[in-house]
Amino acid sequence: MLRKKLKTLATLSALLLGQPSFAYTQLGSISEDAVKVGCLFPMTGRGGLYGHDSQIGIQIALEHIAAYDRYPKLQVMIEDSRSKASRATRIAKDFVQVHGASFLCGVVNSSVALQVAQVAEEEKVFFIGTDHASSRLTTPLTNPYYFRLSNNTQQSMIAGAKYIKENLIPQIGNRPLRISYIAPDYEYGYSVWQDLTKALETQQIPYEIITTLWPRLFESNYTPFINALLDKPTDLIINSMWGGDLVAFIKQANSTKLFDHAKFANFDTGGNYEVLAVLGNELPDGLILSSRHHNNWPDTELNNWFVSRFKEISGRYPSYAAEGAYSGILAIAEALANTETYSSKEDIKKALETLVLHLPEDPIGFSSFMDGSTHQIQQVIAIGITTQNAEQPPAQKLLSNWSVYYPSHFQ
């Protein structure tokens, strides 16, 4: 019976491969000569909000681009990847082979991103990563067509290690910091852990690993994992879940003494507005969180404009995915604007490698810039503490007491 089912599945997948095209959402120019960008985001399921926010971020970027003559016409196609590598790679190929996309962008899941990057390399189109963070794609750089416009896990973990050294080590006295780690069981979780341990060693932080736990992505019941964390004395629990997984974990941990048991940190995505909004008052005070973009930091004209424009369009505040997608599309436009001919991939590559962009997450006096050797954007990382603040409802708590780390500090 099961064998039959699986065989049917295999046949279906073969049939799906034969399908000519997906029904995608199209934004931007409808002109035939517009540069085509194919974006892949999860639009349904636990990661669905990332896709919807990214779409609005792209819309804002296209508005910005349309306001300046120096930018080329862009046509952006968006399709639901469902966070599945098989589907994402087929869509990517479809964008390139059927719709003539010169750029791929987006992708939230790091495992999916690895496989889409392979497609990009095979098809010789640029892949502008916006939301996935595994450092495996950029450290070392193995794919010349890959560029990432958001911080990767290596950068976040170096900032996290600096934060630990400055704020937590002085509190524990003369002994190693006891760390427990819990992460989703896929590429992103492994990458964060690898980067974190490397950063702790680079920063010469004495630490002892108590345990590492790997619940599956989209796990529904975290109780056994929370009990396992509570079983052992720990100074710091480092969590690298994101989105709905992190929300579910915090909700379930709230009914235990986990947040009294040890300090809790999520240095890469925990401070995402999506998490703050869904948890509201259920979000405990004093959690150490960061995110790739914050709605309340930096307090600059550009960031305030971006957040308020997003709210005008959607009626709500953005998650970090919106600014990631905005950055990705803007990067493509900026690179093309700096290129003499759009057809020269080498010129575009050079333009991307030397890209400098002023983005909403940049504090005054700083602009994000691309590291040509790794194809990884270099940005400022701010880590904050959850505190009562209802200025951006439905979130009842926002981050404050910022510790800010500039790119030069990462090394």
Partner 1 sequence: MSSRFQHKRLSSRYLLLSLVVALIPLFIFAGLYDRYFEQLVSKITDGRVNTQVAAVQNEFKVYLRERLYQLDVLADELDSPEIFSPKGKSNLSNELEALLRLQTDLNNVYGVAFFNSNKQLLWSFPENSLSVGRYASILPFNTPFEDAELLGPEPYSFNHPASVLLMKQLSSSKLDNEPFYIGLIIRFNSITSILKSLSTDGIFTPYLSTPGDRYFDIVGQPAELLGISQSFDLISNWSISLNQNGVLAEPPSAALRYWLIVLVLFTAACLLIVHWYISRRLNTQVSSLIEGIERVASGDLMSPVPQQRGTEIERLTDAIEKMRFQLSNVIQSNIEMDRRASLGNLSAGLAHDIRNPLNIIRMTTKALIKRESKPENKEMLTMMVDELDRANRVLDNLLNFARPSQPKQELLNVSYELNLILNFLQTTAKAQKVDIRIVCDESFELSTDSGHLHQALINLVLNSIQSFNGNGGTILLKSFIKKEYLCIAVIDDGPGIPNEIRSRILEPFFTTKETGTGLGLAICQSLVQANHGRIHIDSCDTGTVVELQFPHQPNLDDTYE
| Binding positions for partner 1, rule: CB under 8 A | 2-3, 6-7, 9-10, 13-14, 16-17, 84-86, 89-90, 111, 114-115, 181, 185, 190, 193-194, 197, 209, 211-218, 221, 224-225, 228
User: Are the beta carbons of 183 and 189 closer than 8 angstroms?
Assistant: yes
* Closer residue to partner 1 (CB): 6 or 356: 6
* Closer residue to partner 1 (CB): 18 or 173: 18
Neighbouring C-beta atoms of residue 300, cutoff 10 Å: 17
End-to-end CA distance of the chain: 56
CB of 270: closest distance to partner 1 in angstroms? 21
- Of 133, 129, 109, 141, residue with least CA distance to 37: 129
- Of 186, 32, 34, 22, residue with least CA distance to 92: 22
CB of 66: closest distance to partner 1 in angstroms? 37
- Of 163, 148, 32, residue with least CA distance to 99: 32
Q: Which amino acid is at 6?
A: L
- Which residues make Cβ contacts (< 8 Å) with residue 293, sequence separation at least 6? 318, 320, 322, 323, 324, 360, 361
Phi-psi region of 314 (alpha: psi -120 to 50; beta: other; left: phi over 0): alpha
CB of 116: closest distance to partner 1 in angstroms? 11
CB of 39: closest distance to partner 1 in angstroms? 20
Q: Which amino acid is at 344?
A: S
* Closer residue to partner 1 (CB): 197 or 304: 197
* Closer residue to partner 1 (CB): 17 or 356: 17
- Give 79's strand partners: 40
CA distance 217 to 320: 20
Angle among Cα 251, 156, 83 to the nearest 5 degrees reads: 60
CB of 6: closest distance to partner 1 in angstroms? 4
* Closer residue to partner 1 (CB): 228 or 404: 228
CA distance 66 to 330: 11
CB of 84: closest distance to partner 1 in angstroms? 5
CB of 43: closest distance to partner 1 in angstroms? 17
* Closer residue to partner 1 (CB): 221 or 281: 221
* Closer residue to partner 1 (CB): 15 or 364: 15
CB of 68: closest distance to partner 1 in angstroms? 40
CB of 212: closest distance to partner 1 in angstroms? 5
* Closer residue to partner 1 (CB): 93 or 292: 93
- Of 326, 317, 308, 215, residue with least CA distance to 272: 317
Q: How far is CA 285 from CA 97, 141, 264, 400, in A?
A: 50, 39, 10, 11
* Closer residue to partner 1 (CB): 202 or 338: 202
CA distance 198 to 192: 10
* Closer residue to partner 1 (CB): 218 or 369: 218
Strand order in the sheet with 368-371: 25-28, 74-80, 35-41, 103-106, 126-129, 146-148, 376-378, 368-371, 356-357
CA distance 336 to 26: 20
CB of 292: closest distance to partner 1 in angstroms? 24
* Closer residue to partner 1 (CB): 117 or 335: 117
- Of 218, 211, 175, 206, residue with least CA distance to 193: 211
CB of 128: closest distance to partner 1 in angstroms? 22
